[in-house]
């Protein structure tokens, strides 16, 4: 039974997942997509290595929460004698010496709250995806855990022998652990930890204060915004799809994928969410990453996904030392989808880049040159729009002509017409417009079924949740009768206990068992666009109710059991939440007027 009752901390350089008992179970070091030195999440049912935790003697109760509007996690553990320890976990993040300070370091601070608790600190990292135990060496105030390619240093003001021997001791003062790079910390650990904590709290709250959020569902949107931020790598601007690899989409399904990459498909919607939030700097870095990753060295080939750094391999392989989430392997590193043909990538790139031409905050210096680069993408979109591909669901065993892929190619041509007009290329704008009109007519003719709904595959009647996005990208208006019919068929064929499946056809692994969460947000948005707001609000509220205790969402939900599955936390799920909340919320003025 999946729980995924985890919280995420991070600083846009690294991130760590922590369970309800304050155990760090997933920490990729020294970057979001690197080797997990804490890998217990994928170590089976009861892993004995690959984690960091605190064992409180006679513990009877645990409570956990984020400090308001931050990514700082507080866990309070109470023992049966009334003793309490407060555990604060965070990754430092703030301005320091005139620049952004975000070291690949997590800090754990233990504070006695009531009486003295007796506890044990256990730190058991592994390297090479669980295959290698570290070589351990000791300094005066630190312990070094070394693997073949990295060293994790733990600096602390507690006795190093307690760490090495995992000895129980009485907590009678605050102690601090700095877990990160092999660098000395000359300052007093307690003073430094308190300073870093204060500055990090201030920095997160200042960032949240600058967000534009809807009147309703503020807490949910803020937590989603922070989570989306935690999935970003500020060094390059990339936003990974999730912080994990190989948490299965459904139990024992082998649908285990590595999501620590940046998908072009998600880019347009992620930019939309960031723009709604007013997270301008994150949005600009992400747009520039997408453009730079794809449009470099005049290479016009586009992959569906990109690593956070160009030096990282996307080749897929198996990590044999890790048995998988709850023993449900395999654990995959890399993603073979990188070599697939997915024709929607042309539209994804151009729709993402289009923001640069209209958003005056982004100050594009040479819009004509960027248009000329995008023009090559448009030509490819026109060429491949109605050719078979692996599609948005990345089928590994078949190719068909997917409606969504064709529609995104149309969107590429349509937006290029607008961009060409914007940069003064009037003749080319007319050519793009004519090509887009012709392609739109063909897509709608071949996607519309005899019963009047839109199919996910051209020339074949297939219910597919991506058809809910066709009004969103502008292929046809939400008032079109075909949209109403598509909403109806979606509810009939894809709805399971209030959640929308991706499709109901068998794929490479059989029939899907879980619902892809963002599809339900797409359905909510489509209902809202069609004027069915109360119905949309009811379904949206139901989705909010399955967030875990920390307010986070994974990729998938088992509809009947209401358990989370899939990689975690899923950026796209939180993007969907932000979009739907912004679309459904009453306005500030309207709401405040009603309240008065």
Q: Quote the pLDDT of residue 362.
A: 87
pLDDT band at 299 (very low <50, low <70, confident <90, very high): low
The runs of H, that is alpha helices, within 113-250 are: 160-165, 189-209, 218-230
pLDDT band at 525 (very low <50, low <70, confident <90, very high): very high
The runs of H, that is alpha helices, within 385-480 are: 403-422, 426-447
The CA-atom distances, in angstroms, between 421 and each of 103, 254, 350, 375, 432 are 44, 48, 15, 13, 10
- Report residue 157: phi and psi, to 5°: -100, 15
Q: Quote the pLDDT of residue 396.
A: 83
Q: What rounded mean pLDDT belongs to the chain?
A: 95
Burial 507-516 (b: 16+ CB within 10 A, else e): beeeebbbbb
Predicted TM-score of the model (pTM):
0.96
Cα separation, 407 vs 346, in Å, equals 11
Q: Quote the pLDDT of residue 381.
A: 96
What is the topology classification, in CATH, of domain 210-595?
Glycosyltransferase (1.50.10)
pLDDT band at 42 (very low <50, low <70, confident <90, very high): very high
Task: Please state the rounded mean pLDDT for residues 389-411.
Answer: 94
pLDDT reading at 2 higher than 70: no
Any idea which residue has 């996307």 for tokens?
314
Q: What is the pLDDT of residues 301-314, one digit of tens each?
A: 789 999 998 888 89
Task: Please state the rounded mean pLDDT for residues 506-526.
Answer: 92
Q: What is the pLDDT of residues 333-363, one digit of tens each?
A: 999 999 999 999 999 999 999 999 999 898 8
Domain segments of the chain as ranges: 7-208, 210-595
Cα separation, 520 vs 576, in Å, equals 9
Q: What is the pLDDT of residues 117-145, one digit of tens each?
A: 999 999 999 999 999 999 999 998 999 99
Q: Quote the pLDDT of residue 507.
A: 78
Helix or strand holding residue 78 (H, E): strand 73-79
pLDDT reading at 596 higher than 60: no
Cα separation, 414 vs 587, in Å, equals 31
pLDDT band at 177 (very low <50, low <70, confident <90, very high): very high
What is the largest distance, in Å, between two alpha-carbon atoms of the chain? 80
The CA-atom distances, in angstroms, between 438 and each of 385, 414, 435, 442, 454 are 12, 11, 5, 7, 18
């Amino acid at each position: 039974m999946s729980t995924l009752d985890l919280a995420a901390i991070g600083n846009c350089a690294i991130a760590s997942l922590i369970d309800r008992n304050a155990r760090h179970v997933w920490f990729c070091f020294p970057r979001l997509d690197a080797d997990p030195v804490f890998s217990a999440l994928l170590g089976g049912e009861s892993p004995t290595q690959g984690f960091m935790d605190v064992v409180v003697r006679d513990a009877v109760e645990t409570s956990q929460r984020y400090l308001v509007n931050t990514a700082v996690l507080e866990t309070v553990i109470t023992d049966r004698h009334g003793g309490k320890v407060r555990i604060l976990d965070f990754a430092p993040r703030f301005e320091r010496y005139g620049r952004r300070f975000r070291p690949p370091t997590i800090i754990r601070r233990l504070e006695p709250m009531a009486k003295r608790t007796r506890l044990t600190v256990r730190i058991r990292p592994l390297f090479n995806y669980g295959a290698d135990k570290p070589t351990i060496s000791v300094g005066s105030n630190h312990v070094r855990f070394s693997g073949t390619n990295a060293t994790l240093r733990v600096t602390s003001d507690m006795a190093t022998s307690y760490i090495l021997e995992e000895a129980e001791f009485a907590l009678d003062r605050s102690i601090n652990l700095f877990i990160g790079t092999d660098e000395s910390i000359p300052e007093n650990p307690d003073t430094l930890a308190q300073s870093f904590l204060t500055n990090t709290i201030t920095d997160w709250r200042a960032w949240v204060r600058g967000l534009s959020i809807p009147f309703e569902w503020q807490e949910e949107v803020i937590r989603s915004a922070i989570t989306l931020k935690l999935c970003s790598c500020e060094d390059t601007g990339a936003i990974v799809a999730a912080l994990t690899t190989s948490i299965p989409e459904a139990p024992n399904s082998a649908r285990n994928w590595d999501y620590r990459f940046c998908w072009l498909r998600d880019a347009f919607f992620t930019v939309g969410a960031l723009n709604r939030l007013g997270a301008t700097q994150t949005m600009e870095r992400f747009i520039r990453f997408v453009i730079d990753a794809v449009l470099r060295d005049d290479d016009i080939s586009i992959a569906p996904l990109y690593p956070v750094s160009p030096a990282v391999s996307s080749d897929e392989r198996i990590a044999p030392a890790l048995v998988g989430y709850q023993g449900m392997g395999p654990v995959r590193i890399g993603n073979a989808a990188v070599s697939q043909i997915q024709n929607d990538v042309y539209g994804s790139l151009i729709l993402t880049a289009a923001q640069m031409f209209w958003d005056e905050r982004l100050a594009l210096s040479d819009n004509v040159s960027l248009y000329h680069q995008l023009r090559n993408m448009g030509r490819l979109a026109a060429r491949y729009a109605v050719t078979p591909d692996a599609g948005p669901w990345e089928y590994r065993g078949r190719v068909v002509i997917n409606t969504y892929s064709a529609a995104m190619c149309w969107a590429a041509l349509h937006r290029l017409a607008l961009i060409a007009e914007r940069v003064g290329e009037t003749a080319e704008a007319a050519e793009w417009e004519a090509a887009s009109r012709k392609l739109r007519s063909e897509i709608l003719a071949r996607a519309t079924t005899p019963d009047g709904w839109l199919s996910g595959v051209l020339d074949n009647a297939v219910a597919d949740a991506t058809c809910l996005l066709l009004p969103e990208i502008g292929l046809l208006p939400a008032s079109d009768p075909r949209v109403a019919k598509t909403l109806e068929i979606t509810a009939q064929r894809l709805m399971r206990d209030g959640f929308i499946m991706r499709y109901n056809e068998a794929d490479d692994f059989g029939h899907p068992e879980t619902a892809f969460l963002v599809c339900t947000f797409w359905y909510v948005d489509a209902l809202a666009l069609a004027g069915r707001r109360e119905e949309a609000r009811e379904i949206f509220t139901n989705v909010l109710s399955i967030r875990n205790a920390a307010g986070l969402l994974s990729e998938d939900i088992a509809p009947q059991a209401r358990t989370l599955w899939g990689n975690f936390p899923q950026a796209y799920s939180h993007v969907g939440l932000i979009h739907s909340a912004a679309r459904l919320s009453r306005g500030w003025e309207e709401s405040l007027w009603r309240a008065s």
